[in-house]
């Protein structure tokens, strides 16, 4: 799962570059993904996730444990 946020599920979108003459060519809109380590108090270890900035905001708002649990239910994070 490359270029997919492990919290929100955001992935790339396809669109068009539009020139001055209105000629259209395909392009990609990539999500703003960062590889970030989060400290888990429950497990006493760091957890590395590939998340978008919106995903980081969600983690800070709802907590790491709840967010990971919801992401596993959606199938975005595989249980190891």
Burial class (CB in 10 A: 0-12, 13-18, 19+), 7: buried
pLDDT (0 to 100) of residue 78: 84
List, for residues 1-35, the tens digit of each pLDDT value.
589 999 999 999 999 999 999 999 999 999 999 99
CATH code of the domain occupying 13-74: 2.30.170.40
What is the structure's pLDDT at 79? 73
pLDDT 10s digits, 25-72: 999 999 999 999 999 999 999 999 999 999 999 999 999 999 999 999
Instruction: Report the chain's mean pLDDT, rounded to a whole number.
Output: 94
- Neighbouring-strand partners of residue 14: 28
The residue extents of the domains of the chain are: 13-74
């Amino acid at each position: 799962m490359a270029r997919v946020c492990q919290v929100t599920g955001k992935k790339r979108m396809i669109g068009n570059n539009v020139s001055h003459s209105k000629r259209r060519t395909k392009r990609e809109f990539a999500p703003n993904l960062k590889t970030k380590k989060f400290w888990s108090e429950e497990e006493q270890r760091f957890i590395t996730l590939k998340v978008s900035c919106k995903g980081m905001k969600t983690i800070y708002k709802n907590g790491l444990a709840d967010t990971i649990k919801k992401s596993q239910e959606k199938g975005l994070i595989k249980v190891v």
